[in-house]
Amino acid sequence: MRNPFVRQEFPERRQAMVDSQLAARGIRDPLVLDAMRVVPREAFVPEHLRESAYLDSPLPIGSGQTISQPHVVAFMIEALSLNGGEKVMEIGAGSGYAAAVLGQIAGEVYAIERIPELADRARETLRALSYDNVQIRHGDGTRGWPEQAPFDAIAVAAGARRVPEPLKQQLKEGGKLIIPVGRNAHFQQLKRITRVSQNDYAQEDLIPVRFVPLVGGNHR
């Protein structure tokens, strides 16, 4: 069956994106680079924006949300230090693009999106592209997905004022959580939190970023 999203020029644009926006700017993990070469970003943006799918910029996806620029997606996933086959949770699935990239590397991906229309659309797109190892749930991402915990890695694609405790608790020991943290949408620091033991966590500051706010019952 012909993939409805594929156009002949998009694979070439995708390769150029990986070369010029990712590899040339320091992304080195071959698993991440290979995944970004495969996942069709054009499938995860509105049809009228598909010509812009491989620009190095975020794009609107509806409901006041955006798909992150490719370099930020790659940077965050590389920072999780995945080896392949892991169990990963994503908070703020949006259109499902980052979940698909994670799905190329991880064994299982559990992604949560609070806006029902986006969750439904992401689920449909991922199903059409045969990402059977990615599940999308409509819900409050600040609560995580406790029945599937613990996770080897967690990625949060929304800016938090503080790190929600349930997300930390749903990490395996040795697992990594990537999350933007800041007082407002204009100043956030991407942080990597590693669970060292049951009650101890190590924290690193990575890069300054800008994400839409994280919204949920455990984040007021």
Tens digit of each residue's pLDDT (9 = 90 or more) over 90-130: 999 999 999 999 999 999 999 999 999 999 999 999 999 99
Distance of CA 29 to the CA centre of its chain: 16
Domain-embedded: residue 217: no
- Enzyme catalytic residues: 68
Please report the pLDDT score of residue 14 as a whole number: 96
Domain-embedded: residue 133: yes
Please report the pLDDT score of residue 184 as a whole number: 75
Please report the pLDDT score of residue 9 as a whole number: 82
Range of the domain at 58: 10-209
Please report the pLDDT score of residue 4 as a whole number: 47
Name the token pair of 204.
């690193």
- What domain count does the chain have? 1
Please report the pLDDT score of residue 7 as a whole number: 57
Domain-embedded: residue 1: no
How would you classify the pairing of strands 151-156 and 171-184? parallel
Strand boundaries in 42-186, DSSP class E:
59-62, 65-67, 87-91, 108-113, 134-138, 151-156, 171-184
CB 112 within 8 A of CB 137: yes
Domain-embedded: residue 86: yes
Please report the pLDDT score of residue 1 as a whole number: 37
Q: Identify the sign of the CA torsion 6, 11, 13, 18.
A: positive
Residues of the chain above pLDDT 70, percent: 95
Domain-embedded: residue 216: no
Domain-embedded: residue 4: no
Per-residue exposure over 158-179, b if at least 16 CB sit within 10 Å of its own CB, e if not: bbbeebbebbbebbeeebbbbb
Domain-embedded: residue 45: yes
Beta bridge partners of 189: 181, 208
192: left (phi over 0), alpha (psi -120 to 50) or beta: beta
Q: Count helices and strands (H / E) in the chain.
A: 6, 9
CB 22 within 8 A of CB 71: yes
CATH number at residue 101: 3.40.50.150
Please report the pLDDT score of residue 196 as a whole number: 97
Please report the pLDDT score of residue 183 as a whole number: 80
**Can you list the residues of the chain whose pLDDT is less than 70?**
1-8, 185, 218-220
